Amino acid sequence: MFRAPIRSFSSTARRSLKIGLIPADGIGKEVIPAARQAIEALGSDIPKPEFIDLLAGWEVFTKTGVALPDETVDILRNECDCALFGSVSSPSRKVVGYSSPIVALRKKLDLYANIRPVVSVAPEVGQQPSVDLIVVRENTECLYVKQETQTEGEKGKEARATRVITEYASRRIGQMAFELANARPRKHLTIIHKSNVLSITDGLFRETVRAVPTLPAVAGKYDGVTIAEQLVDSAVYRLFREPEVFDVMVAPNLYGDIISDAAAALVGSLGLIPSINAGDNFVMGEPVHGSAPDIEGKGIANPLASIRSAALMLRHLGYVKGADRLDNAVDAVIRDGRILTPDLKGTSTTDEVLQAVLKQL
């Protein structure tokens, strides 16, 4: 896997690294503390970490009526350099007053890019992984603007959802994707869309991303990047049949969400897939798995995605040595294969896997 910072913020002036911790719901309360211990084990490879515990989630909503307290947002904006978010147990039914806190955080902090690497671990150190791709997902619009209505009509209840695609959001996620593709050996970018059906919304996304290399501010910078396109339905098919054709994939919000979860099956488990929510001034790591209520409290949640998310967050901040150590430790545990959680067909506990990672560090 070619590991490089996506868009590093300046790290030279920091004597400490203030990290907001938002475990939220379910197994988030088990895997985020594991990521904290892994970060603390890095020692002098990063500035001294200082952790701030913050609240958000469905459980907080049931107690207070607010899923994302203003205090959490204010502390992230004014006191933290970065953050780690666990998982949310959002209900599948409509609950008056409730809205997903992770979706709200992405908008409030303008974390417009969700970046999800999906990489297999090669059997031997130095070998090339069989799967090595990154899904770059626009994080602020599409159907996730949550503008829905329900009315009574001649055919009974009628529900409608507004889908928003803007040139502004498409351009900046496109530039993030080109930046990432340009830093990788293959320099290949695939634009995911469905403009053969949604010619206006997906058409705008497609055209805007394709036009990024022609922008005056980046003229000539991405000349080495090869551009491809794939309809979203056939992209899922090709992911399973020939994942090697993909390098960097850029997609609107909903497609990116679905594709990245599907891609996790290629490497064995959602419990291995990290992500960051990134903007121009802030980054928040987030394991891709959900709150997993069926295993909550059993001590068998896989902590590796949260540790990898911490590594991705640190890499984005410019702390490459620390990020490499975390990634290499996780890879070594997976490659060894003796200490793995049940989602990877193992019998180990969350803490046993964490201790194996700490031993590698």
Summarised one tens digit per residue, pLDDT across range 250-301 is 999 999 999 998 999 999 889 999 999 999 999 999 999 989 999 999 999 9
Q: Are residues 231 and 262 in the same domain?
A: yes
Ranges in the chain, pLDDT < 50? 1-2, 4-5
Kindly state the helix (H) or strand (E) to which residue 85 belongs, with its residue range. Answer: strand 82-87
Q: Can you give the length of the chain in residues?
A: 361
DSSP H stretches of helix in the chain: 28-40, 58-64, 70-78, 101-108, 167-182, 201-210, 232-241, 253-264, 304-317, 320-336, 350-360
Q: Which of 18, 25, 81, 194 is catalytic?
A: 194
Radius of gyration of the chain (CA): 20
Q: Within a domain: residue 254? A: yes
Q: Whole-angstrom Cα distance, residue 93 to residue 150? A: 14
Q: Within a domain: residue 275? A: no
| Residue pair 106/277 in contact by the 8 Å Cβ criterion | yes
State residue 5's pLDDT score.
Answer: 47
Q: Which of 25, 29, 144, 343 is catalytic?
A: 144
State residue 3's pLDDT score.
Answer: 55
Burial (0-12, 13-18, 19+ Cβ within 10 Å), 229 = middle
Q: Are residues 197 and 76 in the same domain?
A: no
Residue range(s) defining the domain that contains residue 203? 132-146+158-266
Q: Within a domain: residue 96? A: yes
Q: Whole-angstrom Cα distance, residue 339 to residue 361? A: 15
Q: Whole-angstrom Cα distance, residue 51 to residue 167? A: 37
The number of domains in the chain is: 2
Q: Within a domain: residue 1? A: no
Q: Within a domain: residue 273? A: no
Q: Which residues contact 326 (CB under 8 A, 6 or more apart)?
A: 38, 39, 42, 307, 308, 310, 311, 314, 357, 361
* CATH (domain of 310): 3.40.718.10
Query: What is the number of alpha carbons within 13 Å of residue 62 lying toward its C-beta?
Result: 9
Q: Are residues 164 and 255 in the same domain?
A: yes
Angle between helices 28-40 and 350-360 (to 10 degrees): 20
Q: Whole-angstrom Cα distance, residue 72 to residue 192? A: 34
Q: Are residues 106 and 42 in the same domain?
A: yes
Please choose, from the candidates 146, 144, 114, 109, the residue with its C-alpha nearest in 3D space to the C-alpha of residue 250: 114
Q: Which of 45, 110, 261, 324 is catalytic?
A: 261
102-137 residues labelled b (16+ CB within 10 A) or e (exposed): bbebbeebebbbbbbbbbbbeeeeeeeeebbbbbbb
Residue 318 DSSP code: T
Catalytic residue list contains 70: no
Q: Are residues 109 and 201 in the same domain?
A: no
Last residue of a domain, one of 237, 266, 295: 266
Catalytic residue list contains 257: yes
State residue 7's pLDDT score.
Answer: 53
Angle between helices 70-78 and 101-108 (to 10 degrees): 40
Q: Within a domain: residue 236? A: yes
Please choose, from the candidates 110, 269, 257, the residue with its C-alpha nearest in 3D space to the C-alpha of residue 192: 257
Q: Which of 233, 280, 321, 359 is catalytic?
A: 233
State residue 9's pLDDT score.
Answer: 52
Please choose, from the candidates 310, 275, 300, the residue with its C-alpha nearest in 3D space to the C-alpha of residue 289: 275
Q: Are residues 255 and 306 in the same domain?
A: no
Q: Whole-angstrom Cα distance, residue 94 to residue 97? A: 9
State residue 145's pLDDT score.
Answer: 86
Q: Whole-angstrom Cα distance, residue 226 to residue 255? A: 21
Q: Which of 25, 202, 257, 327 is catalytic?
A: 257
Last residue of a domain, one of 266, 299, 319: 266
Q: Which string of DSSP letters, residue by residue, matches 155-195? A: TEEEEEE--B--HHHHHHHHHHHHHHHHTSSS-EEEEEE-T
Q: Within a domain: residue 152? A: no
Q: CA-CA distances (angstroms) from residue 219 to 209, 216, 248, 284?
A: 14, 5, 20, 30
Q: Are residues 198 and 307 in the same domain?
A: no
> Which residue is listed with tokens 């790591």?
285
